[in-house]
A = this chain, B = another copy of it.
Amino acid sequence: MATEISNVGDPARSVATLWGTRRLPRRGPRHSLTTAQVVDAAVEIADGDQDLDRLSMRRVAQALGVGTMSLYTYIASRDDLLDAMLDSVHGEAVERLGEPDHATWQDGLRSVARAGWDLHMRHRWVMQVFTGRPPLGPHSIAKYERELGVVEGIGLTDVEMDAVITLVHDHVEGVARRRVEADRAVRRTGIGDEEWWRAAGPELEAVLDPAAFPIATRVGEAAGRAHRAGQNPEHAYEFGLDRLIQGIEALIHRRA
């Protein structure tokens, strides 16, 4: 009738979970866990897997030595768990960002990018979490504050400051995703890069006319060589970051 019973996806509860401000009940049995314990266990499993696909509520419960359904006392759903995991590792990233003592905003942006890169490398599942709503946990907000700090007062509007941070994130996340996803494919299939090309190469050669795609063939081979030499993520990361910074410099100089 008038009221909706399901508390699934209740925004207020999700926010309260993130901030650890859910009221503790005064009656009933003692809690055998905390939300933080659940989140930490999940992070540990995801770190080990380097993947979110195999992170199941059952495995988290098993790791904690409780029944699967007991987790739902501490977290409303798997989606909420993912949000909480993200906020948790963002806290770590803020610590590693350190004090904002950069001589220039360029240095600041480089350290923002580096912190993002480290985050993705230490927790190789964060690029798999998609939050439909802005992440409003304490650590995510703290991270955002720190990041915005490096572009404060350099001549950008508020909306542009947000856009710059987002731009850096998208670049770093893209490079990290390609790196991690490639590893994941190798791990999942048990087929290494070299073996994969040995198997797919002949088929491709039989079917692809290099003359029809001259640039793609040439550039693809160059990129492949760089990849095999292990210099691809590094170069892509640095090259992209340099372009972003120079693009922002151009805007600021034009305005000055």
Contact = CB atoms under 8 A, between A and B. Distances in A.
A211 B2 CA distance: 38
Number of copies: 2
A160 B244 contact: no
Given A173-B174, A222-B158, A186 B247 contact: no
A163 B82 contact: no
A144 interface: yes
A27 interface: no
A144 B158 CA distance: 35
Contact of A1 (B79, B182, B203, B213): B79
Contact of A141 (B16, B129, B216, B243): B216
Contact of A186 (B128, B132, B162, B245): B132
A133 B216 contact: no
Contacts of A98: none
A69 interface: no
Contact of A158 (B1, B166, B175, B219): B219
Nearest to A127: B3
A185 interface: yes
Contacts of A164: 243
A235 B163 contact: yes
A16, A128, A203, A235: most-surrounded residue (chain B CB, <10 A) = A203
Scoring A10, A16, A170, A204 by chain B CB atoms within 10 A of each residue's CB, the highest score goes to A170
A149 B214 CA distance: 10
B248 A243 contact: yes
Interface in A55-105: 79, 82
Interface string A136-160: 1010011011001100100001111
A238 B15 CA distance: 32
A247 to B, nearest CB: 3
